[in-house]
Structures are given as C-alpha cells and as structure tokens.
Structure 1
C-alpha cells in the first residue's frame, strides 16, 4: 500500500532537499477517505500563497487516495518548488514537484485512556510571523527539540518561542482549561496551526492567548492533539531536566474535549 518516488527521481538540486523550500501535509485516511481534508487543503493553499508555489490541482492531490485500502492509513504529501534558480534566487518559472506516500497507521489508544507524560524543552522556536502557522519543510527546530529526550515514557516536549511564550509541542498543538475556560496558544509568531486545532476552534469555545509556561501551574486540564493521534490528556508535566512539576488526574473535563476531537476523526469516545 506504499508508493514512493525512486531516489533518482528526487534530484539533489531539488529546492525542498537543498533549502526546505516546500510544504507538507500528513492526512489521516479511513477506508480511503481523507479526514479533515478541507482543512488540510486550506492550510496547503495558504502555504503556497506565502511561498509563491503554484497549488496543485485538487485532482492531483487526491490521486494517491485510490491506493488506500480499508482501515486506517496516513497520506503524506510533499510539495517542493522543484529545481532551478541560482543559490537562493527563485527559478522563474518554477516547476513544483508533488510526491506522496501512504503508510498503515494505528493510533495510541493507551495514551487516550491513561494520559501522557510530557516535558518542557530547552530549545526555543525562532519568531517568524511570515511562516507562522504553515507546515513547511524546514523542521530542524523540531528535530533538535525531539532529541532532548530518549526515554519511551515521555510522549512529547513543549516548546516556547524565543521570548518565552508557549507555542506547541514538537508535533502537536496545546489546549488547556484554566478557571473553567479553554485556551490555546496564539500562533501568529511561529508554530504549526494544526488541522485538528482548527476544527476545535470552530466547534468549541477555545480562546487563543499569549501565555508563558507558568500559566500551566494553575490549569485544571491539559491536552496535546493532532489530526493523526487525536487528543491526549496530559497526566504529568516535567521540567527540561525530567523532574516532575505537575500531575493531573484524568477526569470528565478531559473526556469532554477529547470526545469532540475524536468525533471529527472517527475515533471512539474514551471512558
């Protein structure tokens, strides 16, 4: 069920390889149907507009789905500007290249039920409003942040920007409940605006806020989520050295938002 471009079809001079000049989407596919597809297409279109890369036709983006079988899989789409240009100068015209892969997928149901342990990261995200929200190919910050821990018990790391504001986890978005109110970090400086986050903002009274890590000291519930894994409740938060600083008991408040997120992805409610 996997389709890949051969190595000799991805030249070293491709700007996606050389400069991270491109975008990608990872889409949950259930029985051949892409979930949150309109949200993924909208984010890809925004990214193409910012980078000045022509958006492929919808038919081209949906063509890989004919290879999807029954059950769950992940479609990864990678769009680069193609090759050409001298140094960083853009090729005119550009010749965008679209590549894709389908892979079998199974979410972590245990993490849905029991919650997860997460930690703060030392790495700070650079602030670049022009790229904020986009899922571009330049992900070295996330790679370096994920290298800060190796223990299997830690599920994710929380990232702040260079001015100390909470932004996201290495590959998930953050939501918390504070004084009965749902909040999520504002993503107008950096970070990836996830498609599940987008749906939750439409369907739940979630407020986008500027917040520093100290804000988590008083929250009643904390979640991490993305369009593949759904929503994980956080049971324990560690500092960047791995020392526990907060614990939460998973309760009804966690389950209510989790149920809303999972309904959007076709995942069962968790009790």
Structure 2
C-alpha cells in the first residue's frame, strides 16, 4: 500500500522502524524489538501498534531466512512541524529474503573511522527513528568493497557505533560497548548480550582503540563480525587484530541468540 504524500514519516522522519531476522516464520529477538518499538513510540508520543497485529507479520515469511521491516509513522495531518491533535499512526511492513555475510563471520572485516560526527540528542538516543541522515552521509564516505563499515564518533568525542551496527571490544579482560545515553541506536542484539554477559557500557574515545585486545561489530540481522583492521577516514592503516578465542566465544554467544552457527 503506497504512503501518502503528506505522511509525516516521509515529510519529517516522524516515525520509527525495526528490522527483524525471521527464520522459517519465527522472529529472532522479538521481545527486544517490541520493547524498543514501545520505547520509541513513547519518546515520540506515537501510539504503539497493536502487538497482536505485529505478531502476525513474521508468519507470512517463506521458509528459510527473511528480514521483516516494520515502519510506524505518526500518520498524516498537523500543520508543518506541529503534530495533529489526534494522530492516526500508519503501519507499513515488508518481508525480504536474506542471506548473511558468512565470510565476514569467519575471516573478519576491515573498517574505518568516519569524518562525520554524530549530534548528541538525549531525547532521541537509543531509539530507531526514521531520520537517519547522519548514517546516510557517513556511509557515503567510502565505496571500496574492502571496507565493511565505518565507525562513528559523537560531536562530544566519544565512540558511539558503526553506521548500521553496534560496537564491542575487549579491554583488560572485559567486554565493553559504548554508552548510548546521548546518541546512537541501542540494538536488540546489543540489549540481549548486555542482559546475558558481563558487558560494561562506557564512554570511550576512538583513539583508545589502540589499547583494546579485540574489536567486533554486531546487529540482530548480520550477527557478529570480528574486526581485523582499522583505517583512518583517508584510508591510512591504524590498527590490526587477530581473531582470538575470546572473540570467537563472544561471537558464539551472539549467534546463539539469532540461530546462526556456533562453529565458524
């Protein structure tokens, strides 16, 4: 069903989305996706969709792996930026066949720092709202297929995330991930790992990556990619890491949550 021209999600990014890995009609990390969607709706003041309706969507997938994308907007109406007094939220969804990048699980990836800096807006921190122009601009910074992702730093100087994945590293024997109280997307795989493993949420300057024992990226669709090489925004080599047994164990914990193979 087409989206009307006056839809506020189209006009202003006034809405939220979720991307869910679906295996044989069963969604992965579903409770975490619903919880983040509820948080996002509360933050934007949008009525959350009926969870009974949402629960029917993954079952429409064919056998094998799919990705369900759910978009919720405030709907139409209002005057300019002023929201309508009685909005009628709009729900749209799509299922697409999916195949993960298995070679990246096994061999790891190269990443680079991005020049773009993320704005800090605590009112939007953590939620997956539709206005992702910062990520779009950052992703335009490289075209080489040898670079899998770009690391994003906030305007305040803290490492936050990759353009479409969360960041994890091992330092002094502890797994850590960026604190996302000012900006960034709190991924559902990240949430599940925080709940199950002893991961510290910290403020971390990107230059401190030279002190870490291992680095990886993860999200609830692609799983977990080890990082083997880090470059500057201009492509100069900065750091290299081997894929340690500790990182493989961490990867296995992440993949168990998604139904991906434990042995790589």
Same fold (TM over 0.5): yes
Mapping 1:116-131, distance limit 5 Å:
116-131=109-124
Question: After superposition, where does 1:50-69 map in structure 2 within 5 Å?
Answer: 50-69=43-62
Distance in 2 between residues matched to 1:60 and 1:13, nearest whole Å: 24
CA distance in structure 2 between the partners assigned to 1:41 and 1:187 by the alignment: 19
Q: Is the 8 A contact 1:237 1:245 kept in 2?
A: yes
**Matching residue within 222, 239, 243 for 1:246:** 239
Alpha-carbon distance in structure 1 between the residues aligned to 2:189 and 2:85: 35
Find the aligned partners of 1:109 and 1:254 in 2 and give their Cα distance: 16
Alignment pair present for 1:89 and 2:79: no
Structure 1 position 250, deviation (Å) = 1.2
What is the distance in 1 between the residues matched to 2:59 and 2:160? 36
The TM-score normalised by the length of structure 1 is 0.96
The SS at the match of 1:167 is strand
**Structure 2 length-normalised TM:** 0.99
- Segments of 5+ residues of structure 1 without an aligned counterpart are none
Are the aligned partners of 2:17 and 2:128 in contact in 1 as well (CA < 8 Å)?
yes
Match of 1:201 among 194, 202, 206: 194
Of 219, 224, 230, which residue of structure 2 is paired with 1:226? Answer: 219
The 8 Å contact of residues 113 and 270 in structure 1, kept in 2 or not, is answered as no
Between the aligned partners of 2:15 and 2:208, the Cα distance in structure 1 is: 34
Q: Which residue of 2 aligns with 1:237?
A: 230
Contact 2:180–2:186 under 8 Å retained in 1 = yes
Check whether the contact 2:26–2:59 (CA below 8 A) recurs between aligned residues: no
**What is the deviation of 1:206?**
0.4
Listed one character per residue, the Cα deviations across residues 33-75 of structure 1 (whole Å, up to 9, x for unaligned) are: 0000000000000000010100111122122223211110000
Q: Whole-Å Cα distance in 2 between the matches of residues 66 and 250 of structure 1?
A: 37
SS in 2 for 1:231: strand
Aligned to 2:7: 14
Of 59, 71, 93, 2:64 maps to: 71
**Stretches of 4+ aligned residues off by more than 4 angstroms:** none
Distance 1:228 1:154 in 2: 19
* 3-state DSSP of counterpart to 1:156: strand
Residue 78 (structure 1) shift: 0.2
Once the two structures are superposed, the pairs formed by residues 1-271 of structure 1 within 5 Å of their partners are 5=1, 9-271=2-264
Quick one: distance in 1 between partners of 2:91 and 2:58?
A: 14
CA shift for structure 1 position 251? 2.1
- Count of residue pairs the alignment pairs up: 264
Deviations 1:126-182 (A, max 9, x none): 000000000000000000000000000100000000011000000000000011111
Over the aligned positions, Cα root-mean-square deviation in angstroms equals 0.7
1:82 and 1:187 map into 2 onto residues whose CA distance is 28
Cα deviation, residue 249, structure 1: 1.1
Aligned mates of 2:48, 2:243 — CA distance in 1: 42
